[in-house]
Amino acid sequence: MSKRPIVVIPSDDPVQCQGSPRLDELRKRADVRLFTDRCTNVEEQVRRAHGAVAIINSRSYVKWPAEVLQRLPDLKFITVCGIGTDSIDKPAARKLGITVSNLPGRTAPVVAEHAFGLMFAVAKRATWHTDQLRAGNWAKMDMVLLQGKTVGIIGAGPIGAHMAKLCRGIGMNVLGWTFHPSAERGRQLGIEFVPMDDLLRRSDVVSLHLPSTEESKKLLGAREIGLMKPGAILVNTGRGALVDEAALVESLNAGRLTGAGLDVFEQEPLPKGSPITKCEQVVMTPHIADMTPEGLDLLNHGVVENTLAFLDGKPQNVVN
């Protein structure tokens, strides 16, 4: 049996870590076992992770509840490839002596640019017009001028801050809401922090940039979506759990909202025939906001740094 520590990447599909030269540094210190296909069940997930001291969880659909963590006595560290750690039962990990780390802010400009693009695609009816032209129709639909409009940014971390900068760059007014607002941070970011209901009523675009926590789940339910301006746009590159998807579908089908740009969903992968897929005023991407070559490299660099820091006995970016 190898005396070197074992690091497992259990399910790297779609591609995140495989082929990355960043792993070469880690291979100098550990045996890296990377699986390119998806785990089909929990038993397979446990088999893949057996013997691992550290796990790089490159895909958030691979979940680590208490009952799985308890079956991995060698496991001492998990790092995710991003900021969200909702795939891991953090209290259980803490009780079991497993350190959990993330990558705060690494790809903020990349994700914010994606959110910005989704906003534009919805405002300009990009997919609707494309579909009409492909069908042989010279059909037109009114679009939305974003300059001079108000964007409400929910979540003032690195991604939300960069989104604010992009929106100000095209002449949008920026409102913000966060769990812990401060006047000083508002001045730094050029954001006017306001109460949630005020933001929803005043914003022409609402853009979500929060992780999924007990506090933030269903942050936008039927009541909150109902407060949004008629004709507003919702953008979500945070987590699907932030929004009551059924309430969003109902509002879109009723024509209250102009549309939505979504990179995340309540259930991922998105089930075939999901009601949200039948809303023609929605632009969707499959949770890939940071999947540019630059974004992937930043994340791969980050998880390798996190893992090496743990192996050195100096874990960083610890969230539990």
Active site residues: 239, 268, 287
What is the reported pLDDT for 305? 98
Whole-angstrom distance, CA of residue 20 vs CA of residue 256: 45
Strand partners, 235: 207, 261
**pLDDT, tens digit, for every residue of 138-192?**
999 999 999 999 999 999 999 999 999 999 999 999 999 999 999 999 999 989 9
Residues 37 and 57 in one domain: yes
Residues 255 and 267 in one domain: yes
In sequence order, which residues have a C-beta less than 8 Å from that of residue 310 and are 6 or more positions away?
Answer: 54, 76, 77, 79, 99, 101
- Residue range 77-98: mean pLDDT, rounded: 95
What is the reported pLDDT for 317? 97
Residues 148 and 263 in one domain: yes
Residues 227 and 179 in one domain: yes
What is the reported pLDDT for 142? 95
Q: Is residue 14 part of a domain?
A: yes
Question: With the C-alpha atoms ordered 43, 48, 51, 57, is the resulting torsion angle positive or negative?
Answer: negative
Q: Is residue 319 part of a domain?
A: no
- Residue range 6-35: mean pLDDT, rounded: 96
pLDDT band at 3 (very low <50, low <70, confident <90, very high): confident
Residues 97 and 59 in one domain: yes
Residues 37 and 183 in one domain: no
- Residue range 35-62: mean pLDDT, rounded: 95
E-state strands within the chain: 6-9, 31-34, 54-57, 77-80, 99-101, 150-154, 173-177, 192-193, 205-208, 233-236, 259-262, 282-284
Residues 91 and 234 in one domain: no
Whole-angstrom distance, CA of residue 23 vs CA of residue 29: 10
Residue 1 has pLDDT above 60, yes or no: no
Q: Is residue 49 part of a domain?
A: yes
Residue 255 has pLDDT above 70, yes or no: yes
Q: Is residue 317 part of a domain?
A: no
- Residue range 13-19: mean pLDDT, rounded: 93
pLDDT band at 78 (very low <50, low <70, confident <90, very high): very high
Among 161, 8, 121, smallest CA distance to 72 is for 8
Residues 201 and 267 in one domain: yes
Residues 81 and 220 in one domain: no
CB 156 within 8 A of CB 185: yes
CATH code assigned at 307: 3.40.50.720
If you compute the radius of gyration of the chain from its CA atoms, what whole number of angstroms results? Answer: 21
Question: What is the three-class DSSP state of 307?
Answer: helix
Whole-angstrom distance, CA of residue 166 vs CA of residue 96: 42
Residue 224 has pLDDT above 60, yes or no: yes
Question: What is the three-class DSSP state of 153?
Answer: strand
| Containing structural domain, residue 233 | 108-284
Residues 142 and 188 in one domain: yes
What is the reported pLDDT for 27? 97
Residues 190 and 261 in one domain: yes
Residues 297 and 263 in one domain: no
Angle between the 108-123 and 158-169 helix axes, to the nearest 10 degrees? 50
Q: Is residue 1 part of a domain?
A: no
CB 36 within 8 A of CB 18: yes
In the chain, the percentage of residues whose pLDDT exceeds 70 is 99
- Residue range 61-73: mean pLDDT, rounded: 97
Number of domains in the chain: 2
Q: Is residue 320 part of a domain?
A: no
Q: Is residue 318 part of a domain?
A: no
What is this structure's pTM? 0.89
Q: Is residue 197 part of a domain?
A: yes
